[in-house]
Each structure stands twice: as structure tokens, then as C-alpha cells.
Amino acid sequence: MGPFKLHYNFRDLFLAPRLGLSGKKIWVFILGNLIGFVFYWIFSYLSLVIAGFNLTDSIRDYGLYPCLFGHEAQWHSWLVYYCGIIIWIFMIMLSSTAVSRITLKQLKGNDFFSGNDGWAYAYKHWKAVVLSPLTILLIIAFFIIFAGVFALMSSIPYLGEIIFAIPYLLYFFGSVFTIYTFFVLFVSLLFSPSIVGVYEEDTIGTVFNSYSITIGQGWRVIVYHLLLMPLILLSLEIMYWFWMNSIGFINYVFGFDWLMGEKLSNITTHASSIIFTPWIVDLISCLRTTITDSIGLVYVLPKFFPYEFQSQSINLSMMETISSVILSISYFLIGLSIVSYGLSIVSVGQTIMFIIFKKKSDDDDLLIRLDEDEIEDEIEDEIEDEIEELDDQENISGDDNEQKDK
């Protein structure tokens, strides 16, 4: 497949749901989310234990989804808990970097760039992805500390009022820059994976591009995301419909009385109760209702094979319990695939946005720009050509020497 022909405007964002619906991109996010979730799960229960809660009781109460919010805990418990959240976010950003790289290769016409290749690239450039937001945080911290020092000096009797009044314009512009940098931090969290994945920037270059996008493309960042969000919601709703009807179809076929019958109902109900706890189901339902009500959208999709996840307690045999636990793993991956598809659309959309931004601001077409892989391939080809030329010259000189000897 040849390279994509982009319009370099908002119309290109409509490619995001289709390009995001890719097995390798969704799998990259599934893997990243699984690793991040495991760390979050461990750190969350560790924080609950540090806060004085019994581990067995906490696992019984929270199951797969532990949370420290809603409890009183000391600062070190919150520190451990937030470490788990940060690691999960870090894994999502690395996954987004890999997907951004895969998307760039796909837009260039290279459909053979694999998920493993994307992970290898993300692993190679992870420092820029992580350190760029941290660098911007340090910039904010520097200005806050700088302001605190002058505030302390302003408390000096007699001289403090003068110290406050004379450099007031310096305080003002420093405050403006600090508030602006908060917006840059948000943009950096969104676009650092795309900047690194597409433009191959280091930490300083990623920070610079984050400032450049915020001041030069700020309105496009807002408008393009407002356009991307309905595409994400619509795509997720369609995938959810297919997934739920597929599960319902399986239960319809296997659920006949002369096949699995009641055993199927017992297994699926218990598996559902493990993964889709009542508060998770209520949260998803509340989010969907809130979003549709906010935009005034009312719709009902037909259910060919209706199925609703249940979370009631039932008595199971040992084999039914084992089977339901195994089935719950599949349910978890199915649910995670929906979330990962949404993240894939976001990553693809932001990759396309960054390509548009560079074309608009610098007239730099990143689809025809040679990336580091292509440069390495060209260098290898040149080396091979030089070796072949040297071999040919040696062969020619050898033939000449043989003729002279004769």
C-alpha cells in the first residue's frame, strides 16, 4: 500500500478511527495497560496496607480495582498510591509513542512495521517521553521558588515594600509565563509521545515543540480535540455493540438446555461479578448517560443477542468456579480491548495533528522527510554499493594482472 495523501487540515482526523482499528496498535495498548495496571494494583494494595488496612479485607472489598481515595491516610501512603498511578500513565505514554511510530510508518506506506518494532523504538526513546513533562514541571517549580524568594524578601521591614513594588513588572511577566507553562505541561502530556514518535526529538526538542504547539497551534489543539472526541465516542459505541452482541451470540448457542444450560449461566454470572463489579457498571453507565445528555443525543441500538453483565453471588461447583475464573480473564481482555481502541484513536489522532501542525507552521511534510530508520537503510545501501564497487575494482585489477603475467 502506498503512502497516504493527507489534506493537512481537520479532514485528516476522520482517518483516526479507521487507522486506530488495528490489531497491532490495540495490542500495544493492551500490553501497556496490562503492565501499568499490574503496577497500579500492587502499589494500591501496598498503600492500603501502609495506611493500616487489612490486606485480606481490602482484597475482598475492592477485588481487581483497589483505590485509596475515600480513606484517611498519611502522606507516605498517598506517595505509594500515586507512584502506581504515575507508572500506569508512563506505560500509556510509552504505548502511545509506539503507536505513533507505527502510524507514521503506515502513513508513509510501510505496513510491515510491527508492534515489536514500535515497542523497540519507544524503549529506545523513553527518556524524552518521560523527561519532557518533568522538565516543564521543573520550570514551573523554578518560577514558583523564585517568586517565593522575592516574597520572603518582601517581608523584610521597611525594605520589603520597596522590593515588592520596584520589580513588580518582573513578577507580572513571570506569573504570565508560569501560567502559560501550565498549559504547556498539559500539551506536553498529550503530544510528547507523538513528537518523539514522529519527529524523533530528544528531551529539549520535545519541550521546545510543546511550547511551540501551545503558542502557535493552541486553537487547533482545542478545535481538533473537540472534533476527535465525538469520533472516539461513536467508534467505542460501535465496538461495544459488536462485542456485547458477540458475547450474547456465544451464550445463545451454548445456553440451550440440552447443551450447557444452567451451567453456562452460573459460569458467566460469576465471571462477570469478578470483572464488572457494580460500581464499574454504574460508572460506565453514568459516563455514557452524562455524555449523551450533554450533547442532547438519544439513541437505542438494536440488540440481536442481548446480554447484560451480572454481579450476583451464586453457589458454584469447583469446576464451575475454575471455569468462571478462566473466563473472567477473557472478559477482562475484552473490556480492556475497548479501552485500548479508544486510546489507539487518541494516539493516531494526535499523531495526525502533529503532522498537520508541522506542515502549517514550518511547511515541513513529515511524510516525505526521512526518519532515522530510512537514513540508516540509505547508509547501509551506500556501504553495500561501495563494497560492491571495491570488489569489482579488485576483480578488474586482478584480471589485468593476470593478462600482464601472460
> What confidence tens digit (pLDDT) does each residue in 31-63 have?
999 999 999 999 999 999 998 888 888 888 888
Q: What is the mean pLDDT of the chain?
A: 86
Mean local confidence (pLDDT), 371-381? 74
What is the CB-side half-sphere exposure of residue 76 using CA atoms within 13 A?
Answer: 5
Sequence-ordered list of residues with C-beta below 8 angstroms from that of 309, at least 6 positions apart, any chain: 272, 275, 276, 281, 331
* pLDDT tens, residue by residue, 259-299: 787 788 888 888 888 887 777 777 777 777 777 777 666 66
Q: Among candidates 343, 334, 342, which has minimal Cα distance to 95?
A: 343
221-225, 239-243, 398-402: which has the minimum mean pLDDT? Answer: 398-402
pLDDT at 400 over 60: no
Judge contact between 260 and 324, C-beta under 8 A: no
Q: How far apart are CA 25 and CA 400, in angstroms?
A: 58
Residues above pLDDT 70, as percent of the chain? 88
Q: How far apart are CA 119 and CA 109, in angstroms?
A: 19
Helices (H), 166-317: 168-199, 203-216, 218-254, 262-275, 278-294
Q: What is the pLDDT of residue 306?
A: 65
Dihedral of the alpha carbons of 391, 393, 395, 396, in degrees to the nearest 10: 160
Q: What is the pLDDT of residue 135?
A: 95
User: Where is mean pLDDT largest: 134-143, 255-264, 368-377?
Assistant: 134-143
Q: What is the pLDDT of residue 296?
A: 67
102-106, 319-323, 355-359: which has the minimum mean pLDDT? Answer: 319-323
Judge contact between 191 and 224, C-beta under 8 A: no
3-state class (DSSP) for residue 111: coil
pLDDT at 406 over 60: no
Q: Among candidates 100, 82, 103, which has minimal Cα distance to 92?
A: 100
* pLDDT tens, residue by residue, 148-188: 998 898 888 878 888 888 888 998 999 999 999 999 999 99
Q: CA 221 from chain center: how many Å?
A: 17
Cell digits of residue 332: 477482562
Residues above pLDDT 90, as percent of the chain? 49
Judge contact between 371 and 200, C-beta under 8 A: yes
Cell digits of residue 241: 455493540
